[in-house]
Every structure is written in structure tokens, then in C-alpha cells.
Structure 1
């Protein structure tokens, strides 16, 4: 039996993956924001009989290191590059633009994964995986431009049942490397220019500093170099 944590597991791909693992007898912890969807997930889980991602990952390091095949699977959009990061305004507080914020968020997500894989103990594997566009919740508060883009994305999107398959494949057969990136079944070179280790270390420092401003202590491993 495996122990699995799914951040964003009450809808879409996260929900499909969580219910699949529950049906196979695994222990699953699901994190979500919407109480109604949470209740719906619990009802679906019962029918089977069965915080923040940055802080969560580091706070689980001791548990991950003790597991037989520890894995963090981040469903994201790896490989988008690091050229457009606004280091002085990571939250896009000035001149917000939905598409640019989305692009930067994808890049920052990659960088946090890179640094986590570098700091995590040897048994832990980290996988960045993009299954392709999925006709899932795509929830959010969008401006008119972004809402039109989201609607256009739905036209050729995969179903959740199709897109969850590569996710389950990785859960069942974790890769051996500390860091892996996969886009629609194609592995990416995590030593390439899109995976900038210096930028990853810089973002780790910025993130821990921002957390400290809100009274959140540095996560486990934050003092390591």
C-alpha cells in the first residue's frame, strides 16, 4: 500500500488520480480549496469503500525519505524557460496581465521543482509532468481575454480519463532520476537552458524570504546549500 498526497485533488486530474489510488487500496490525502467539491470527493471516496505546496513538500521530507519509493508528482507545464521572470514583482502586483502571469507562474513552478530535487535526500524523486490540455475545471477569475483563451483551449482538450493515464503511469512506475520532466509523453532534458539551477536557487531564497514576512518559518532543508 502506498501513501499519496494530492494537492488540488477535489476536481479534474487530481480527483481522478486520487480516486484511482483509493480504488487500488492506497491511503490518499487530498488538499483543496472548495468545501463543496471536497464534500463531493468524500462522497465519491466513500462509495469506493475507502497548504501550500512549497512548505508541504519540505515539511514532508522526513516521511518521504522513509518511504520505499518516494515521489512528488507535479502536474505542470515544464520547459517554458526563464527569460521573462519579473524578479522585482513576482506576484505581478504592477501591470497585471493574465497570460504573462500564467507564463511566469509556469516558469517559477519549474524552478521550485529543480531546487527541491537538489535539496531532497537521495531516495526522493520529483517529476514535472504536462499531460496536455485537459477539459477539466479550469477554474479561476479571468478577464475577457483570458476567458476567451480558456474557452478556445477546451475545443481540442483531452478528457480527464485520457489525461490521467500518464499520471497514473508515473505513480505506478516512478523514474529513477532525482528530477524528471515530461511533456505529453516526451521527456525533456532537465540540464538544458530552460532548467536554470542558478535561477532556481534564487527563487528558493526569494520564496523563503516572502514566507518569513508572513511569519512562516523556513521549511526543512532551507538552511542547506
Structure 2
């Protein structure tokens, strides 16, 4: 029985993965904000397999808060001997710059700082696994120079496009840090080939919300279909960094110096 930890595991692709691995007989920890959605998810699986309830764990957390991310790490370190797969799938889209109660730019905090805290903090549990894997649903392929090291929180000149590109590139660099620390780790930045149907959580304009709803219904993949490539990568991990769109492998830019620079900057900000 493997231990699978999934952020954003109550909706969309995260929930689809949680259902799959509970049905497969694994221990699944879901990190999210909605206990009711988690209970509904577990009930759907236990209708076929009553034992799933004992293998399902929920940790309530707002991962845009560094304190909550650290609390999650502390809980997992205290209650688990290893983590076989860590899936980073939490999402909340913000078109405008917002600041958390801790003073961080909210999208940067959710889409990168939380992942940094989880990947680095849970490194001992990943090292304890025989074939550990991190799947980070940060779509690969951002420009190599997308990180603004002088203004990581984008106090100046925030745009949704710049913010998105910086988060994606930073998560690729996080893979450099993680695999340098643990050469046995498979670290995968992954994105779907097309839109995935979900509740589209976020604070966005009416135009984006309508477009997502219409296109999702017309062209979007069902979450359980979209995650099939992820399941394959988790079940047969290969050590080192890799990037995929669906099942298609993508090239990754090097970035050892940038990764070290990012780690130093984040350590100072945290």
C-alpha cells in the first residue's frame, strides 16, 4: 500500500486522483479547504469499497498561507513514515494582485511558496520511499528568464500573464533543488493537453468565467480522463526531472544557478 498526498484533492483532477488511489487500495491524504467535498468523495468510493474510509485522510488548509503549509508538513512528518507520491494540484485563479494576511502576493504564495514548503519540508518522507515521485501540475515550458528575482512578489508591474509565467518557471527550478537533494526522486512538471472540466475556483472577470464554463462544457476533458497520464507517471516513476503535456514529454531548460538563487531569495522571504 502506497501513501499518496494530494493538494487540491477535493475537486477536478486532484479529486479524480484521490478516488483512483483510494479505489486501488492506497492510503490517500487530501489537503484542501472543503471537508464536505472530501466527505462526498470518500462516500463515492466507499459505496464499492467500505475499507476506503479508513485509508482516507483530510487536512484542512489554505495553502496561500505559509503557516498552513508548514502546519501540513508538521502533521505529515508526525503521522507518516514515508510518502510515495506527492501531487501538487491546488488551484485558485486570481487575475489581479492580492496580498495575503501574511503579506505575500496571493498567487505566488499558493502556486509556488506552498509547493516550496511542502517539497522541501517533506523531503525526509520522500527519501524514505523506495520510488518517490512529485507531480507538480505547473504547466511546463515557461521562458528561462520568467522569474523576476528582484521582485518575486511582483509589487511592480503585476500582470496575470507575468505572474503565471513566473510561477511555472519557479516550479521547474524547484525540481532542480529537489532532485539535487534526492537523486532517487522523480520530479515531474505536468500540464493537460487541453482544458479540464472543474469548478474553476477563483476570483476572475466575468468574461474569463463564462469562457471557461462554455469551453469546458464543449471541449473540456473529464477529470478522470485527464489524469490518466499522471497515474502512469506515479505508478512507474523515473528518477530525475521531467516535463509532460499529457503523455508528450517536453524539454526542460537548465537552471542550476537560477535554482540556487531562487532558494536563497525564498529562504530570506520566509
Which interval holds the TM-score relative to the shorter structure? 0.7 to 0.9
Q: Give the secondary structure class of the aligned counterpart of 2:190.
A: strand
Where does residue 264 of structure 2 map in the other structure?
A: 205
Distance 2:209 2:166 in 1: 18
> What runs of 5+ residues in structure 2 fail to find an aligned partner?
53-68, 70-113
Partner of 1:32: 32
The CA distance in 2 between the partners of 1:11 and 1:138, in whole Å, is 9
The one of 124, 131, 136 aligned to 1:74? 136
Structure 2 CA distance for aligned equivalents of residues 57 and 104 of structure 1:
18
Taking the TM superposition and a 5 Å limit, the aligned residue runs for 1:49-64 are 49=50, 50=52, 51=69, 52-64=114-126
Normalising by the residue count of structure 1, what TM-score does the alignment of the two structures yield?
0.81
How many residues of Structure 1 are paired with residues of Structure 2 in the alignment?
206
Could you tell me how far 1:42 is from its partner in structure 2?
4.0
Match of 1:222 in 2: none
Q: For structure 1, which segment, 7-16 or 106-115, has the greater mean C-alpha deviation from structure 2 after superposition? A: 106-115
- Unmatched 5+ stretches in structure 1: 212-225
- Backbone CA RMSD of aligned residues: 2.2
Q: Deviations over 1:62-99 (max 9, x none)?
A: 22222121111112201222223222222223333223
Per chain length, whose mean CA-contact separation is higher, i.e. which structure has more relative contact order (CA < 8 Å, sep 6+)? 1
Match of 2:184 in 1: 123
Pair 110,148 (structure 1): closer, same or farther in 2 beyond 3 Å: farther
C-alpha contact 1:81 1:195 (8 A) present in aligned 2: no
* Maintained 8 Å contact 2:191/2:245: yes
Residue aligning to 2:230: 167
Task: Provide the rounded CA distance (Å) in 2 between the counterparts of 1:6 and 1:195.
Answer: 27
User: Would the alpha carbon gap of residues 94 and 38 (structure 1) be closer, same or farther in structure 2, given more than 3 Å must change?
Assistant: farther
